Amino acid sequence: MKRTNELIVALAVMAVIIVITWGLFAVGDNMPRGVTPFSKDVYQLHNLILGIVTVAGVLVFTAMFTSIIVHRKSKGYEPAKFTHSTKAEIIWTAIPVLILVAMAIPSTVVLIDMEDTGGAEMNIKVTGYQWLWKYDYLEDDVSFYSAMDRESNRARQIGSGIDPRTVENYLLEVDNRMVVPVNTRIRLLLTADDVIHSWWVPELGWKRDAIPGTVNEAWTYIEEEGVYRGQCAELCGKDHGFMPIVVEAVSREEYDAWVAEQREETARVAHEAARLWTREELMDHGANVYQAQCAACHQADGSGLEPAFPALARDGAPTGELREHMEIVLHGREGTAMTGFGERLQPQDIAAALTYTRNAWSNGDGEVVQPSTIAELDQG
């Protein structure tokens, strides 16, 4: 009599749990399937494991709630006396072990495939900085920095008055995208310049830490053209939430055209570094560089965020000795968040930023710093 009772309740309980579980799956997001062989493997693996734990959960919760419903004092249920069963203990040790083995096998296969970074057709070095990325295309000799786009940057400031919903790809757009060809086995070499970052594009199926002093390897093979977005995944300081990653996968022809364009740009930049600039040019360009590189910490009006980020207006480094000011901007300041920009920016960017900060906010004494000065200093 009691046994039937338990069985009927168990079936009803199981039905309810299945409906709730189905509902939880229906309302929420799942992991993206992604666009690489690895991401698809991971997606399948994830679904498999999720399926197994869901079935296990339904069974465990069914037993639990059946007991809760049936074995109540208020229903006059007398407590049984059993306290042990070696047989049961062996069964519920052995069965989970078998399930775990069943999970471990496909996981191992996928992991071995992921970790084999050989056979790369091209190599891209990815370097994390506070708070932007640098991409070096080792074979194609292309190199650039990639930071969050201006529109997002403006909207994300406290009290900006801009509704993030009106900004396209809010926080997930960059100034320079990482452009790669589809159907190409690409090896990524990840490292960092200051603190630990982590490079994560969910559609590619993995993330890997970019660690100063270490080069990590990973690979990808994108099968579909498109734009794939991600973010830094390891806490890297104040603007950790604001260093997006955008990968643009294009056809081989488009990629080659893009490379040619990048090289032209590099040549133009080199030419710009060599010529003499006027004060107006330096001030204009400097204002832009300052907004993009410096304002996050030192603030748009140079007031800084004391004590971590000193003010530049009136009594900061820009009002001091030029030599010392240059030194700080080029090589950073040890033990603080101020990193060196000598590697990261072109000489004309640094010259412009120096000129700008030495003249803006009534710091001004009309001093002009030429790109050629920076280039010489950087060499020496």
Partner 1 sequence: MSQETTAHHDDHDHHPTGIARWLFTTNHKEIGTLYLVFSLIMFLIGGAMALVIRAELFAPGLQLVNPEFFNQMTTMHALVMIFGAVMPAFVGLANWMVPLMIGAPDMALPRMNNWSFWILPFAFTLLLATLFMPSGAPASGWTLYPPLSLQGGNSLAFVILAIHLMGISSIMGAINIIATILNMRAPGMTLLRMPLFIWTWLITAFLLIAVMPVLAGAVTMLLTDRFFGTSFFDAAGGGDPVLYHHIFWFFGHPEVYIMILPAFGIVSEIIPTFSRKRLFGYTSMVYATASIAFLSFIVWAHHMFTVGMPLGAMLFFMYATMLIAVPTGVKIFNWISTMWRGSMTFETPMLFALGFLVLFTIGGFSGLMLAIVPADFQYHDSYFVVAHFHYVLVTGSVFAIMAGVYYWLPKWTGYMYDEKLGKIHFWWSTIWVNVLFFPQHYLGLAGMPRRIPDYAVQFTEFNMISSIGGFMFGFGQLLFVYIIWKCARGGEKATAQVWEGARGLEWTVPSPAPLHTFDTPPVVDDSVAVHKDNLS
28 versus 366: smaller Cβ distance to partner 1: 28
Neighbour count for residue 370 (Cβ, 10 Å): 19
83 versus 278: smaller Cβ distance to partner 1: 83
- Integer Cα distance of 90 and 100 in angstroms: 16
What is the smallest separation between the CB atom of 298 and partner 1, expressed in angstroms? Answer: 14
- Integer Cα distance of 318 and 290 in angstroms: 13
**What backbone torsions phi and psi does residue 135 show, to the nearest 5 degrees?**
-115, 125
50 versus 270: smaller Cβ distance to partner 1: 50
Bridge partners of 248? 179, 227
What is the smallest separation between the CB atom of 98 and partner 1, expressed in angstroms? Answer: 11
What is the smallest separation between the CB atom of 29 and partner 1, expressed in angstroms? Answer: 4
- Integer Cα distance of 18 and 349 in angstroms: 61
Strands (E), 104-252: 122-129, 132-137, 142-146, 178-181, 186-192, 197-201, 206-210, 216-220, 226-232, 244-250
**What backbone torsions phi and psi does residue 194 show, to the nearest 5 degrees?**
-125, -70
9 versus 259: smaller Cβ distance to partner 1: 9
- Integer Cα distance of 316 and 304 in angstroms: 10
- Integer Cα distance of 352 and 349 in angstroms: 5
> Of 273, 295, 278, which is closest to residue 350 (Cα–Cα)?
273
- Integer Cα distance of 285 and 293 in angstroms: 12
5 versus 183: smaller Cβ distance to partner 1: 5
Distances from the Cα of 310 to the Cα of 294, 306, 338, angstroms: 11, 5, 10
What is the smallest separation between the CB atom of 222 and partner 1, expressed in angstroms? Answer: 16
With beta carbons less than 8 A apart as the criterion, state whether 226 and 204 touch.
Answer: no
What is the smallest separation between the CB atom of 367 and partner 1, expressed in angstroms? Answer: 31
329 versus 354: smaller Cβ distance to partner 1: 329
304 versus 364: smaller Cβ distance to partner 1: 304
What is the smallest separation between the CB atom of 275 and partner 1, expressed in angstroms? Answer: 35
What is the smallest separation between the CB atom of 64 and partner 1, expressed in angstroms? Answer: 5
